[in-house]
Amino acid sequence: MTNDLPQGPAEWDALHPYASLTPDQVLDALADIGLMGDGRLTALSSYENRVYQIQLETERAPTQTDGTPVPDSVVAKFYRPSRWTDAQIQEEHDFAAELVAAEVPVVPPLNLLGHTLHHKAFESALTKDASEGYAFQGFSFSVSERRGGRPPELDDDEVLEWIGRFLARIHTVGAAKPFHNRPALSIDTFMQEPKDWLLNHKAIPMEVERAWQDAWQQAMDVMHAAGLGSAHGSDWPHFQMLRLHGDCHPGNILWTPADLPGGGPHFVDLDDARMGPAVQDLWMLLSGDRKQRAGQLSMLLEGYEQVRDFDRRELALIEPLRTLRLVHYSAWLARRWDDPIFPINFPWFGTPDYWRGQVQMLEEQIEQMQEQLLVV
């Protein structure tokens, strides 16, 4: 990295808000809403937020607002400060509640003391406001039931068809009304703004910056030529915008054996829920060569269209959406570099070789966006 972000653990500890979130403080936050941990706490692999699995004392037998018992094992999510407003988080929670009411297998936050979103202030907590300064104190958090499962077998046609049906059910609920506070998936927020941030913060090594900018511009030109982007008045003209899961990759689908009660897929982590075209929730489940991706997409749509119509014109958005995610991902890593968990888990990020690889992937995406669509 070539910018002015903290360069070592001493600076991270002094600056980053998550440095103040100790196990004792996590347990204190849960105790404030009536959940008493028995001391067993495990940090789960989450980078954007801090997420913990916590075993509760069984003799206390806490209940949710509606009188339903709280499970013995829960997952507490402490949201990254300043990423979402309370209104945006609550809109995510309300969407999850709508999905549960429609019998869609998602894992919603528990309603405790009349709320799904809670707040905890710590004297030692430093959080970062939108102006880049660490100023105010405390965290927003939610608690959900711990659910087990494994990633789905995406080479199994029956599994893909099953997931397709549930995605259609998510989108049926999602199409009923829009988000009012959460943002939309857009070329501006996933392509233009990340590029501007990376260049303004000198996050790309000088020897690669020009090549990356040229590849980025070529990719943007291809999207504009296809009628996408704000130059045409709408990022996704002619396509329906609806509430999406937003980050529907295999890691956010937990699968349990079909012969068990409630077996099959259940969806987790609506943290990236936003408005966008339906295909956004399908394309991240595709992998392999072109023939394999076409086969997977065919089975997903086989299930999807048993429940809800799918606009086949949206298939033209798959490669542009993949390009947006590629650019956004690099900016996401760069923006989080002051969080010590990122340099530890992504040590390869920010090197000239990393950015040369990004140039190559952008060039490949430019070719992909100009190829024939997947035929299903």
Q: Which of 13, 66, 196, 269 is catalytic?
A: 269
Which residues are CB-contacts of 47 (< 8 A; sequence separation ≥ 6)?
Answer: 336, 339, 341, 342, 345
Q: 134 φ, ψ to 5°?
A: -80, 115
Which residues lie closer than 8 Å to 360 by C-beta, 6 or more apart? none
Rg (CA), the chain: 22
Nearest partner of 335 among 8, 88, 6, 21, judged by Cα: 6
Supply the DSSP string of 18-85, one letter for each residue: GGG--HHHHHHHHHHTT--EEEEEEE-S-SSSEEEEEEEPGGG--B-TTSPBPPSEEEEEEPPTTTS-
Question: What's the CA gap between 157 and 227, in Å, rounded?
Answer: 34
Which residue shows structure tokens 């998510």? 170
DSSP letter at 139 equals E
Q: Is residue 228 within 8 Å of residue 235, measured between CB atoms?
A: yes
Q: Is 38 a catalytic residue?
A: no
Contact in structure between 284 and 321 (CB atoms under 8 Å) = no
Annotated catalytic residue 339: no
Is there a contact between 230 and 220 (Cβ–Cβ < 8 Å)? no
Q: How far apart are CA 314 and CA 280, in angstroms?
A: 9
Going by their DSSP bridges, the two strands 139-145 and 253-256 should be labelled as: unpaired
CA dihedral 334, 337, 343, 346 (to 10 degrees): -30
CB-based contacts of 39: which residues, under 8 Å, 6+ apart? 27, 55
Neighbours of 313 (CB within 10 A): 12
User: Which of the residues 86, 129, 247, 338 is marked catalytic?
Assistant: 247
Active site residues: 247, 269
